[in-house]
Structure 1
Amino acid sequence: MLRFSRVFVLAALALPCVSAKAAPTRDPVDAVREAIVRQIQQEARSRGWQLVKVDVSPLADSRFVCKTTPIVTAVPGDNLLRRSADLECRDGSGARATIWAKVAVTARAVSLAADVPPGTPLTPADLGGADQAIATLATDYVMKPEDAVGFASRRRLANGQVLTRRLLDRPFKVTRGSTVTVVVRDAGIEIETEANAMDNGREGDTIRIANPKSRKILRARVNADGTVTPGVSEAKPG
């Protein structure tokens, strides 16, 4: 019995002590890369972006030394070309650092599936998608089709062109020289008549309209359905 116990103790002493090994520390550069990628992907998802690809190249700081895996906090911002992360070491040294990284982000932006003449309201059939490099979260690119449908092109646009917000405008509901329906509502009574539009107008705009018989000019507000509601009258032209 004594011999067995002695053998058991010796065998136990010979076993490697796994718990005594320190957990491997992560490379701070890898931790920074993952933190920034994760943050940008979350920001993109919150904006409804699709097919987002993020490439991050941190610039290592040789002055930062930490015996344990540091706490990494990605610093938010609109810039998608350059980001940073703050590092804090918990090994008792109190070491801190900020590591910068070059960033490249691509995402699916809205493009045109056909040529579009100026002033033409866009339909879903007019739209496609293209991968586009994005430099800022506040990008001017149109990233969702629903943000383009119903808007009109400011100029002629070509098939395959990636859309930006500055290329689009609210469509005209009324065009100069056209005949418009004038809707007058008073005390529960609605009366409709016709007038000539003297200006182009989008929904909510105030334009001039002229009575085709009296030539009297009124100012009228453009409604969503293309009708107008009159307001203040102006002097009749000479």
Structure 2
Amino acid sequence: MLSRNLQEVIARIEKARIAYSRHHIVKIVAISKYHQVEEIRELYECGQRTFGENKVQDLKAKSEDLENLPLEWHFVGTLQSNKINALLCSPVSLIHSIHSLSIALELEKRLEREKKTLKALLQVNSANEQSKSGFSPNEALEKYIEILEKCPHLKLCGLMSIGAHSEQRSLVQKSFEITQRLFEELKPKGAEILSMGMSGDFEQAIACGSNLVRIGSLLFQKGRFL
């Protein structure tokens, strides 16, 4: 069943990708936060290699249980300063959610002390919703450049945002377009990754230039086809 789910998602991504540009490449992060290591292993056997967790303790525990597999782990949740040490002890490859200057500076301090680097994305609250973390669109460019200058061990390489929480596709579209415009402005600063789109809106996000989609329920659901 998970194999069929993955193939269906890939087919939908391919259609959206080609409609945007045949040269566009889109990577899938399987969001495994509600799922057990057996399901992650099953999806790995179907060909999926990158997984995302939103709790540091879950990322650490699951990566340890699956350390024999060549998986790439992403942290997609809101990071608290008291969880930084635990995160840096895990095999995290990319953190999607740098949501404040203070958390960036805390990470930089620990990374410098441990002589490590970590790739990261700046989170943009493109819909200006109080329920979401991240920088407002008006401050995102300035803060991105400030973090680049002040945090050399935290390797900013793009943006992440969550589409507007709305049934109106036009509002979701607007939130993605705002982040895309910011991303284009940051390309000269080395921005390469635009993480937008989840199970309910990833095709719309790809149409706005997303090259990293975060898919959870569509990949792990059982008992029905997409």
Per the normalisation by structure 1, the TM-score is 0.18
**More helix as a share of residues:** 2
Q: Which has the higher contact order (CA 8 A, sep 6+)?
A: 2
